[in-house]
Amino acid sequence: MDWNFLFVNSLNGIIYGSFLALTSLGLSLVFGLGRVVNFAHGVLYALGGYFFIIFLPSLGWSAMLFAPLVVVPLAIAMEWLTIAPIRNRDEIYTLLVTFGLSFMITGAIEYLWGTETTLIKPPVIFQGTVDILGNQFPVYRLFASTLSLLVTGLVFVFIQFTPVGLKIRAITDDNEMAEALGINTRWLLTSIFGGAAGFAAFAGALGAPIFSVEPEMGMGIIIDSFLAVILGGLGHLPGTAVGAFIVALAKSIGGGYIAEWAIAVLFLVVAAIMVLRPKGVFGRGRIA
C-alpha cells in the first residue's frame, strides 16, 4: 500500500471537507429552522464562484467578499418569491421548487457565462507550496481550508452563544412552541436563508482557485451536502460538520476506483441511517 498516496488524498479530502462543512451547515440550518429542503443551496455556492471570477478583474481579491454580498439578496428574493408562498403546503413542494430553481440557475449560468471550466490562480502571496512529509502542497489550499474552518467555527459560536442563536435553536427544537413564545420565525427564516446562502457563496468563491469554476459545480456539491447533513443528523450542526468530513474523505481516499466504491458504500450507509432512525431523519410524529 502506498502510504504517501493515501496521505495526500486524505489531506485533499480534509480540504474538501472544510468547504463541504460550510455549505452543509447552511443546508442543515435552513432545514432545522423552516423544514425547507433547499436543493438550490448548491447553485448558490456556484453563483459565489461565478460572481467571484467576474468581480476579480476589477475588484481584486476583495471580490471574495463582494460575491457573497451579491448572492445574499438574490437568495432572499428567491425565498420570498418561491419558498414563502408554499410554506403552508406539504414540505415536498419546497424540495420540488428548489430543485427547479437549481435547474434554472444552472441554466442561467450556462447561458450568461458559458459551459467552460474556469481555472484561476490563487493570489500571489499564496502561490507557493509547502513541504509536508516530502510532498509539495499548495499554500493556498491550506490557507483556504483553514479560513473555511474558521468561518464554520464562527457560525458555531454564533449559534451557541448569541441570543439570535438561542432563538434559532429554540425554533429548531420546537417550531410551534417558539412561535407561541413570540419568536418571529418568518423573519428569522428569511435571514438565515440569506445568511446560509452567503456562506455557501463564500465557500464557492474561496474554493474557486482550488476546485475551479464550472456550471455543474452546484449540482455536485448539493448531493455531497445532503449526504453530510443526513449522516450528521438534520439540524444537528456539529454532526453535520463531522458528516462533511466523512463524505469528503470517502470521496478522496485511495483515488479513482476505490473512491467509486467508497461513494457507493457511503450512499448505502446514508440510506441505512434514513431507514433505521426510529422516525426517519426527516420524520415527524404524525398520529391521527
Partner 1 sequence: MAASPDVENRVEDITRVRSREIATRVLLAGFALLILAVPFLGASPFFITLLTEALIFGIWAMSLDLLVGYTGLVSFGHAASFGFATYAAGIFAMNVSADFFLSTMVAILTAAAVAFFTGLVVTRLSGIAFAILTLCICQVLFQISVVWRSFTGGLDGLIGVPLPTLFGREVEPGEEFYLLTAATLIICYLLLRRVVESPFGKTLLAIRANEDRAAAIGIDVRRHKLVILILSWMTGGVAGTLFVFLKAGANPMSLYWIESGNILAITILGGIGTLFGPIIGAIGFIFIRDQVTTMYRAWQFSFGLAFVLAVLFMPSGIAGIAERIWRRLWPARS
Phi and psi at residue 182, to the nearest 5° = 90, 15
Residue 49 CB contacts under 8 Å (≥ 6 apart), including other chains: 67, 204, 205, 207, 208, 213, 217
Whole-number Å distance between alpha carbons of 28 and 38: 9
Whole-number Å distance between alpha carbons of 156 and 81: 29
Per-residue DSSP letter, 38: -
Identify the residue among 6, 96, 120, 253 touching partner 1 (CB under 8 A): 96
Is residue 88 a contact point for partner 1 (CB under 8 A)?
no
Is residue 44 a contact point for partner 1 (CB under 8 A)?
no
| Residues 245 and 238: beta-carbon distance below 8 Å | no
Is residue 103 a contact point for partner 1 (CB under 8 A)?
yes
For residue 267, which amino acid is it? F
Is residue 92 a contact point for partner 1 (CB under 8 A)?
yes
Is residue 77 a contact point for partner 1 (CB under 8 A)?
no
| Size, binding site for partner 1 by CB under 8 A | 46
User: Shortest distance, CB of residue 86 to partner 1, whole angstroms?
Assistant: 7
Residue 28 CB contacts under 8 Å (≥ 6 apart), including other chains: 229, 232, 234, 235, 236, 237, 240
User: Shortest distance, CB of residue 257 to partner 1, whole angstroms?
Assistant: 7
User: Shortest distance, CB of residue 88 to partner 1, whole angstroms?
Assistant: 13
Is residue 179 a contact point for partner 1 (CB under 8 A)?
no
Identify the residue among 10, 82, 175, 191 touching partner 1 (CB under 8 A): 82
* Cell of residue 62, nine digits: 476583495
Segment interacting with partner 1 (CB under 8 A) among 5-13, 61-69, 156-164, 271-279: 271-279
Is residue 91 a contact point for partner 1 (CB under 8 A)?
yes
Q: How far does Cα 47 stand from its chain's mean position?
A: 12
Residues in contact with partner 1 by CB under 8 A are 37, 82, 85-86, 90-93, 95-97, 99-108, 110-111, 219, 223, 226-227, 230, 257, 260-261, 263-264, 267-268, 270-271, 274-275, 280-283, 286-288
